Amino acid sequence: MGQPRTTGQVLKQVLKAGSAAVAALAALGLFLTACATGGTGARDEGPAGSDAVAGKVQTSSAASAAASATKAPQRVDAVKLVQDDPEVSPAVKSALKPCVADEYPVDVSYGNLTGGSANDVVVNVMTCADAVGVGSYVYREKDGRFENVFKAEEPPVYAEIDRGDLVVTQQLYAKGDPVSYPSSEEVITYAWSATHFTEESRTHNDYSKAVGGADVPTPAQS
């Protein structure tokens, strides 16, 4: 038989066994709590999962918006649009001929001027020789077709889109001005108002006669 244990040794053994039992019960309690809440232990991050899903949705929405913003506008046959338009004068139509091969003297811009679901189309018709604007037009899509909602046919004229507004530049000539050197210009800004364009502002600019013009005096000979 072995050595009889002392009272101190017996007490230590009892305390040790009790500690092990307490630890086992604590572990069991944690396991039952995790099962009751449907969790996955230490890997369960709770609300963070919802945030991650929301983040993915936001990223997807931002990507879709960016794709829509960069979507190329529907191209139109600007030459046919002008030639078939009864609002365009016969003089402009007769001037609208190819300059080289099948290249026509037209500038075309796409943008939202009238608040419609499709881009509006701005067409500038020019001369081949000196690129003088002879007609400017704005076409708005309606029921699958483009209708003329603006025209300016007093050359030289040029229309463009500027931050959602229509800006038309009209160069003015005084008597004796060469084609390449007009005396001044009118810059007119138009905004869309329900069914038509209305003038918002007008700026007049006078050009210098001393810079690049034909009226520069010749220096006296000594």
Strand 145-152 versus strand 133-142 pairing type: antiparallel
* Rounded average pLDDT over 120-124: 97
* Average pLDDT of the chain, as a whole number: 76
Q: Is the pLDDT confidence value at 41 over 90?
A: no
Quote the CA–CA distance of 213 and 217 in Å, as a whole number: 10
E strands in 91-218: 106-111, 120-126, 133-142, 145-152, 157-162, 165-172, 184-193, 196-206
* Rounded average pLDDT over 36-46: 44
pLDDT at 130: 87
Q: How confident is the model at residue 178 (pLDDT cuts 50, 70, 90)?
A: confident
* Rounded average pLDDT over 127-145: 93
* Rounded average pLDDT over 70-92: 87
pLDDT at 212: 62
Two structure tokens written together for 8: 């101190």
